[in-house]
Structure formats: structure tokens, C-alpha cells
Structure 1
Amino acid sequence: MIGSLFSLARPLIHRLDAETAHRLTIAALAATPALRPGPDDPVLATEAFGLAFPNPVGLAAGFDKHAQAVDGALGLGFGFVEVGGVTPLAQPGNPRPRVFRLPEDEAVINRYGLNSEGMEAVAARLKARRRRGGLVGVNLGANKDSADRAADYAILARHLAPLADFLTVNVSSPNTPGLRDLQAESALDDLIARALAARDEAAQSANRPTPVLLKIAPDLTLPELDGMVAVARKRGIDGMVVSNTTIARPDSLRGDARRETGGLSGRPLFAPSTRLLAETFRRVEGQFPLVGVGGVDSAAAAFAKIRAGASLVQLYSALVFKGPGLVGEIKAGLAQEARQAGVERIGLLTGRDAETIARGETL
């Protein structure tokens, strides 16, 4: 039903500029009573970061930036939702236009610049819905004009950890000048240490420390990845998210907006982000789980992320072109893959082909 409705509405939606269409989608999800999807196939149940996920398919950060439509998104069948990026203080982000569809490539370019209503607004919405269930993470970002960006992440971790099921430290957005500099090993070590200490302070009044994940860029060199994984392992991070959008522009792009600046997401990101995921899996050596993001637009793509090393997957851009019915299609396909492989849980296939995918042989 949802997929059929989207097919009818898509031509009208795509006549609007991308940001207006996105805002209307969020408003509709926020205003509509949340759907109650049926129970997920038990084969999809996944454990990661000490949390039990009903299925491994999540909504990536960037869709519901201000935590306005969490319940509507969960009602679409996602196993979890990540809101944000959230900054300590409200900031408008970059001037419009700042998001562009590339329909020929099933891709999106955005340069939002971490537009956020701020920590307090998001915290209030999370408090208002905290008894409704569903797993909700918060993506953390720094204010553009902050004099101490590492302090921003600590402030956010301390304030939002009690309200979230997990936190994601986002130092990989390409649209805030200098933010990716925080991926350098020494800067990252200080930032992670401060964020985890703030999380632990907040955990003193909670049953458990909130898991903290690290989200990285797909444009890293392998030596840069080595440094980031070394920091993550040394500091005892709970997981990594691979990956954010890319600043690369593949020669294959055909869309008129391909020369716009910003982060590229969608189908062209699938291959490089999945190879980086496999390389990360090899380096992590099972110390913590990974979340695979980038170009997930089918069950086959989601399964490839799992084979490359992901315990969980996330998507966002594919919804622009395929609609919310895609969530159910991916879950059904993953359940079928698990049964064909003869395993009781889809997670038992995590990393099965990481070595060959890292070499670029199997995608």
C-alpha cells in the first residue's frame, strides 16, 4: 500500500525543489498517527552495542534532523532511527539551495551544513516520546563557529546520552569547514576521550552507559583509516558507522547537478563505502560492531553491507527515489538470504566476504 501511494505521488513530489519536498515529508510523518508494523521475522533480530534490534535496517541521520517525526519513521518498519545531526546551539546551516537530486544516478548532493534547531529543542522532543518505545540514536555535530569543537561533542554527549539509545560522533560531514580535520588521529583521540568522559558522567544516574559510535568519511586513505580505528579501539568506542557522504564525483555521474558542491550520497556511494566498510571490519577484528551506510537501495545492497562487515545497515537517499515501501522489501530480502544460507540470524553472515570485498572482487 505505502509503495503504491508513493508511486502515485512521486511525480508531484519531484516537481518541488528537494528541500521543500523533504520538509513536507517530515511534516506529514509528524502529523500522521504512527503505523504499527507487524512483528519482524525472527531471523532479522540483531544484537549490537548491547541493544536488541528487531531488524537491522535503520533510518540514517540527516532525514529527521530535528527529531520531529521519530514515531512516524519507526512506523515505516525501521529497526531503529538516527536523528540529527544535532549541534549544541541552533544554527541555520548553509544558504539555499543546498540539496539537489540527481535522478539519472539515483543520487543526492547536499550541503546543508549541519542546520540544527539545537540541542535543547531535540532534547525536549526526545523526552516527550521516550515512553513510546523504539530504538532512537542521535547524531552529534559541532557548531560552525565553535571555538572548541571537541567541547561541543562533550556537551552534547552529557546532555543527550540519557535520552538516546546510542550516540554517533559525526566528524565526517563535508559541509562544515574544518570538521573533517577532527578525523586526524591526535585530534580524534582528544575528542573521543572527552565525549566518552561526558557520556560516563551522564551514565551515573542511568542503568547503563549509552553506546557511542564514530561516523567516518568514505574519502579516507587506508593509513588515515588505520589511525581512526586505532583511536576507536584504544578508547573503547562502542561501534563505527561507515560511511558519511563523499566529496568525490565519479565520472559516471550524469545528473545536471553533478557539479554542485557538497556531499554525494545514494547509489554512486555504494561501492566505495562498502569497500571501506570491509577494510574497517578487517582492522576492527571483532572488537565492536559496524553500521554500513551508503547506497543501500535494495535487499542485495543491504546484504552486501552485511557480507562486508556490517551488523546493522542504514539508508536515506534511496527513499527519495523508491519510497518507504523499500524498507519492507529490504527486510523480506534479507530474511530470504538468511534462510537460503541456513542460518538462524542474519547477523551470522556479518563479514562473510569482507576479505574479497576489501580487494574489490565481490560487490
Structure 2
Amino acid sequence: MYRLVKPIFFKFDPENVHHFVVKRLKWFHDFFPLGKTILRGNYDISYKGLEREVFGLKFKNPVGLAAGFDKNGEYVEALSNLGFGFIEVGTVTPLPQPGNDRPRMFRLQDDHAIINRMGFNNKGVDVMAERLRLLKNREPGIIVGGNIGKNKNTPNEDAICDYVKCFDCLFDVVDYFVVNVSSPNTPGLRALQEKEPLKELLNTLQKRNNKDNRSKPILLKIAPDLTNEQLDDIVEIVKETHIAGVIATNTTIDRNGLYAEEKLKSEMGGLSGKPLTKRSTEVIRYLAQKSGKSFPIIGVGGIHTPEDAKEKLDAGASLVQLYTGFIYEGPGLIKRICKALI
């Protein structure tokens, strides 16, 4: 079915198509007679051998949806019934912000890739928290991660306050947190990946996390463009701050080896999709080997086939996430990956 409609979707602006599709998915799930049952019947797969226990949480399968697809936590329940083992929402910021000017998302079809410079467009953490609070009352079994960031206008010296605000606001309604300091689309954000600012940020969040004998797993999302020396720092920081793990990787600013026309290649923003497959797996393997597999890694970047997912798991990932592969290959990819892992 997706193969029939995909060529039509790809004739239109990708951001417009995204909103069109997810809104109709939610309507079908919530209001169409037997909509939820139909989605589960076609896409969900239940098999005990797929279950994973990672950083203290039990996942029904290891295939999740990466952050950026559902920025405001509006579609969690519908998306989970496409077979995902977990859904990561955000990136969310303390205050609402419109993001960068449009157009800000571009398909590189020859490369099976996307360039985006969305800029953390979202409705703010209070809106997300309220939505997830209602969701938790209906579907307590859905594992939800909260990907948190800073507002564009917040200077880096005040960034910790933004992360703390998001952390506190979402603490009761998400199952794990992801600290996003690796998006290339917020000016200056990647500077927070430097060793000392990053340690200060993560230690501050861990202090908040250990209050009242309750805690949530905190993960760090890193860029694929880090050097081995910087990855060594990441391993050291994870061990020193005792966070739960790492998500590898975010989008890349590298444009080497692309087939797309020069105009598309020169668009500013982060590149995702097949061109990232090899590099993200290299980062996963390096982190796993360097750390002695002492912390879990969620592998994301260029997963378009079951083989791509298995490579990341074999390289040392405990779980994987989809985004661009989900757009290019359709929702059937989740089930195909799960079947290949049985």
C-alpha cells in the first residue's frame, strides 16, 4: 500500500506531507471503527523473544521511533500501534518556538536521505507534559522517551536552566530522557558537547534525578561528526556522570559522496538517511569497544532494511530507532526488522 502512495506524497513539500499523514493516522486510529485494531493487525508483532530489558525498562521489541517525528507528543498512541517498541518525542524546549524559516526540510531522493533545519520547532514543554499526562492515564504500557533541548534565544551559559525546566516538567510523564546537544540547527548548541560544559549539564540533571529516591534513565544524543578523541571523552563523561547510556547518532553536517544535485546538497541543516548508515554504525562500534559495553547504546542513522538494523545491533547497540528509513520505506519496515530478529 505504501509503495502506491509514496510517489504521490513525494511530489509535495515534505513538511506539509508529514503533517497531512500524521493527522490522518491519528484520525484513523482514534475515530475510524476498528482503526486501532486494523493498525495493530497489519503492523504490530507480538513475540516474547523480541523483548529487551535496557536501562531498567522493558521494551516489547528493540525498534523505536526517533525524536523529531512527533515533536509535541501528539501522535504517540497511534504511532505505537504501528509496531514500535518505544516512541521518543521532542525535541522540546521550555518555551514554544516556531523554529527556522520554511522551507526547512528537503528530500534527497537519489540518496534516500533528508536534510532538515527545523530548529526545534515545538509548542513548549508545558503543552507536551499535559498531553503525555493524559496519554499515561489511557495507555500505561507505552514506553515514551522525552528528548529535551534549549530555546534558540537562550545563551549557552544559561542552557542548563532550560534543560532542568524540561526535565522537571516531564519527569512524571516520560520513561526516559534524552539530552540533545548535537542538533546542528540551533546556533551554538553543539558547543555544549565539549567536555566540561557537558559534564556540568549532565551532573546537574543527575542531581535532580536522584531526589526522593526516584530516578529516570538519562541518555546523551551525540553527533556522528565527532572525532575518536571526542568519542573517548564521551565514554569518560558517561562513566563519570553515571548516566544510563548514549544515542548514536544525530544528523550529520557532512555532505561527502552524495548523488543529489548541488543545490540540494548545499542546503544548510542536518543530513539523515542512507548516507549516515556506515558512519553511525562506526560510532556505535567504537563506543561499544572503547567502553567495554559498559553502557547501553541506542543506534540510529540510516536504517532502511532489517540488515541495517542487525548491523547496528551486532556493532553493540541494545536498541535501534528509525526516522528517515521509516519515511522512505514505510511502516512495514518495523515489522520486517522485528521478523528478521526472531
TM-score, normalised by the number of residues in structure 2:
0.93
Who is 1:267 aligned against?
Answer: 274
CA distance in 1, matches of 2:82, 2:40: 8
1:341-360 alignment runs, 5 A limit: none
Long gaps (5+) in structure 2: 30-35
CA distance in 2, matches of 1:159, 1:103: 39
1:159-308 alignment runs, 5 A limit: 159-201=169-211, 204=212, 208-255=214-261, 257-308=264-315
Q: Is the 8 A contact 1:246 1:265 kept in 2?
A: yes
Who is 1:341 aligned against?
Answer: none
- Give the SS at the match of 1:32: helix
1:36 aligns with 2:32: no
CA distance in 1, matches of 2:24, 2:281: 32
Who is 1:13 aligned against?
Answer: 9
**Which moves more between the two structures, 26-35 or 66-75?**
26-35
1:94 aligns with 2:80: no
Who is 2:66 aligned against?
Answer: 60
CA distance in 1, matches of 2:208, 2:14: 37
Who is 1:140 aligned against?
Answer: 148
Who is 1:333 aligned against?
Answer: 340
How far the C-alpha of 1:44 sits from its partner, in A, is 1.2
Who is 1:50 aligned against?
Answer: 56
CA RMSD of aligned residues (A): 1.3
CA distance in 1, matches of 2:18, 2:66: 14
CA distance in 2, matches of 1:282, 1:25: 40
Q: Is the 8 A contact 1:26 1:68 kept in 2?
A: no
CA distance in 1, matches of 2:8, 2:172: 40
How far the C-alpha of 1:75 sits from its partner, in A, is 0.4
Which residue type is aligned with residue 182 of structure 1? L
Q: Is the 8 A contact 1:269 1:294 kept in 2?
A: yes
Q: Is the 8 A contact 1:155 1:198 kept in 2?
A: no
Who is 2:20 aligned against?
Answer: 24
**Identical-residue share of aligned pairs (%):** 43
1:312 aligns with 2:319: yes
1:83-162 alignment runs, 5 A limit: 83-131=89-137, 132=139, 133-147=141-155, 148-162=158-172
Q: Is the 8 A contact 2:150 2:162 kept in 1?
A: yes
Which residue type is aligned with residue 40 of structure 2? R
How far the C-alpha of 1:39 sits from its partner, in A, is 4.9
TM-score, normalised by the number of residues in structure 1:
0.87
CA distance in 2, matches of 1:49, 1:28: 34
Who is 2:33 aligned against?
Answer: none
CA distance in 2, matches of 1:199, 1:141: 17
CA distance in 1, matches of 2:335, 2:19: 23
| Structure 1 outlier segments of 4+, above 6 Å | none
CA distance in 2, matches of 1:26, 1:196: 34
